């Protein structure tokens, strides 16, 4: 039986070089003000750079937490770490005496003795690009 003739057709798939290169950073996990103790971490959910009622709480520690003070060698980011959340001592942005500071937070599992969430204070020179780490 003869085959059906189809119009000759070639699909061309161009290889487009991927110019996006994620950078790798070496970051030390510390909370602001010399690794002070805080009780909560909020994501800047509404991206307005201000801790307010639109932000979601992502971590809490009743008796406080500090940074694990470890250098994290392979944190892969598109750009240098910038603030994406807040550490606070309370849950209400408008309550008196509640302290809050902007932080960059990320998740990483370093073993059972550490929390999986880590923070640093942007602009605090606690990070450096580390291209050979990843």
Beta carbon of residue 22, minimum distance to another protein (angstroms, whole number): 23
Nearer to another protein, 5 or 20 (CB): 5
Q: Cα-Cα-Cα-Cα dihedral of 23, 126, 97, 65, to 10°?
A: 90
Q: What's the distance, CA 102 to chain centroid?
A: 12
Give me the least distance between CB of 10 and another protein, in Å please.
Answer: 5
Q: Which residues bind another protein (CB under 8 A)?
A: 1-17
Task: From 23, 30, 34, 22, select the one nearest 118 (Cα to Cα).
Answer: 30
| Closer residue to another protein (CB): 15 or 63 | 15
The residue among 1 and 63 lying less far from another protein, judged by its C-beta, is 1
- Nearest distance from C-beta of residue 19 to another protein, angstroms: 14
Beta bridge partners of 40: 60, 88
Residues with Cβ within 8 Å of 85's Cβ and at least 6 positions away in sequence, in order, are: 41, 42, 43, 44, 55, 58, 102, 103, 104, 105, 119
- Between residues 2 and 62, which has the closer beta carbon with respect to another protein? 2
Q: Least distance to another protein from the beta carbon of 28, Å?
A: 42
């Amino acid at each position: 039986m003869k085959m059906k003739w189809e119009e000759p057709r070639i699909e061309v798939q161009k290889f487009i070089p991927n110019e996006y290169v994620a950078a790798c950073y070496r970051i030390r996990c510390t909370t602001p003000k010399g690794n002070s103790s805080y009780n909560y971490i909020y994501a800047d959910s509404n991206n307005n750079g201000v801790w307010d009622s639109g932000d979601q709480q992502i971590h809490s520690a009743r008796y406080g937490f500090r940074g694990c003070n470890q250098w994290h060698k392979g944190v892969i980011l598109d750009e240098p770490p910038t603030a994406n959340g807040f550490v606070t001592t309370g849950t209400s942005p408008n309550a008196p005496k509640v302290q809050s500071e902007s932080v960059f937070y990320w998740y990483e599992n370093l073993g059972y003795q550490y929390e999986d969430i880590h923070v640093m204070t942007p602009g605090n020179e606690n990070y450096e690009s580390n291209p050979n780490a990843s």
